[in-house]
Structure 1
């Protein structure tokens, strides 16, 4: 067997710990270490996964072939830049950076040093959304709902940076079209940033998209309704249960087919995809340019809401 790639995870809180677990389990990867702003947390995860804890990300530079960054959003730029400057490939969790301007700087650094940079927009691997991407029929109207109760994790940024950015990236990817008009409304309920938002988007393709995101809804709701010329697909994006209603020319004027999509370990798939990228066998699942575009759009929506509130 060829020599394993040496990898590390920077930021091993809730999500970063899962990243470390996936790398530990990957047959082509040697998890050589984990790093966290809390050295005690790094030592705990390192002990659980039988690897090395590092106190400073700089200490990893001589030991890794690539890294996953899953630290707080505010630190994404500094951490990613550190490794890119040393020509070490980076997979950074979404959003790519705290601001689109910083994201563009990372993109430029990646291109300048000819070093891989990809972003963890993992929902592209969700079979529910791949169903829409692979459809040969044209979407007329799409409604996406991603709602949940409040939790502290992820609340350091707005709901648009935490949840909406997933759905903006998804519709950009699925429709492969540009937004030509939009309406947006949002509320700040618990945090000083937006906790709840509703978007209505119009694309150059003619498709209309509604996105509802909340981190202050009593129940977890994950679904979409996609309307085509002669069919409607309703899918629970968490359970992957899907129903397809197709119009018929005679009574009973429609038929409904129930589909159970196969579940996948999306984070393991994301980790493997980046391994293949580092090995030069595949292209990134999502580029820095695409991730920056989604972040720029989120900032545009926030600026619009701020203006309406002023």
Structure 2
């Protein structure tokens, strides 16, 4: 069997690195589990200068400031007018409150997923960005996974998609259910790759350890005829993050965590038996969050849309909201 190089696949797709220009003044608001990583990356990123780290818990802000050399603040309003771009990594219920003053002033914002608590709040963020011309990016980090980038040109006509995103019980993001916490990553990927409207949803969720849904399954039907079966859990013993695509004469599998891809296809030749070709797809491994932040900084600098803009973030939020509504009605 021949390798996937016969498909004309190079390494993983790349969002590139930020070219040397005047660095943007950047800040991170919310120094929790994810915000710490935002600060770490921005603190050493070409094209940006981390000037502020904000958290209502002063000790957290001080710790991040000491590690990065940025200014520590406990109120994000102290940075209005002093930054060109901010990463918002506060709890979801605060996304609108924190992001709006920056967007209204034309300051670029990368807001973590889900982009807002409700679709109405998401629309307010979109409207503010449109009115001021500010860049609005949403932290759907898996879109920047090199394994996903490698598969993008190969998924052409998916008919069935199977997703498992299973994790151990966390000590964070318990203010939202597993659909908005974990499944939304895969909803964004599936929407981007299928490129068709969702026409039917079946869903079930179970609140096992919290009042929110801790495990959920959604079966989505698209206008194209594609079916996606997506399972997300935050109460599993093992960590699994895999997605598989089945399309005519081809099969592709992504292990998000390992950043590994396998692909197989049936090659038909006149006068010969069909031949199965495939194997590992080359992937240039990299940190997805670093790629996401690099893309955000470049988009803000060059005044162009990021790979995952506010419209894409809203689309994933809308589908997650529809799925959650279906679970509530069961």
Q: Does 1:304 align with 2:323?
A: no
Q: Give distance in 1, aligned partners of 2:226 and 2:148.
A: 16
Is the 1:33–1:54 Cα contact (8 Å) retained in structure 2?
Answer: yes
State the Cα deviation string for residues 259-285 of structure 1 (Å, max 9, x = none): 352211211111111111111264211
**2:26 equivalent in structure 1:** 7
**Gaps in structure 2 of 5+ consecutive residues:** 1-19
- Separation (CA, whole Å) in 2 of partners of 1:101 and 1:162: 19
In structure 1, the gaps of 5 or more residues are: none
Find the aligned partners of 1:2 and 1:235 in 2 and give their Cα distance. Answer: 35
Q: Corresponding residue for 1:130?
A: 149
TM-score of the superposition, structure 1-length normalised?
0.94
Q: Which has the higher contact order (CA 8 A, sep 6+)?
A: 2
Distance 2:24 2:267 in 1: 54
User: 1:224 maps to what in 2?
Assistant: 243
**1:143–1:210 Cα contact (<8 Å) kept:** yes
The TM-score, its normalising length taken from structure 2, stands at: 0.88
The alpha-carbon distance between structure 1 residues 65 and 281, as it changes in their structure 2 partners (threshold 3 A), is closer
Map of 1:115-264 to 2, 5 A cutoff? 115-135=134-154, 137-247=156-266, 254-264=276-286
In structure 1, distance between residues paired with 2:129 and 2:261: 39
SS at 2:243 equivalent: strand
Q: 1:134 to 1:2 in 2, by over 3 A?
A: closer
Cα pair 1:240 1:260 within 8 Å, conserved: no
Change (3 A) 1:2 1:288: closer
Alpha-carbon distance in 2 for matches of 1:307, 1:99: 18
What per-residue deviation string (whole Å, max 9, x for no partner) do you get for residues 20-39 of structure 1?
11111112211111001212
1:77-116 Cα deviation digits (max 9, x unpaired): 1000121122211111111111111111111111122222
Q: Is the CA contact 1:124–1:130 (under 8 Å) kept in the aligned structure 2?
A: yes
SS at the partner of 2:221? strand
CA spacing shift, 1:307–1:246, aligned 2, 3 Å: same
Cα distance in 1, alignment partners of residues 276 and 22 from structure 2: 56
* 1:267 corresponds to: 289
Residues 1:284 and 2:306 are matched in the alignment: yes
Q: Cα distance, 1:19 vs. partner? A: 0.5
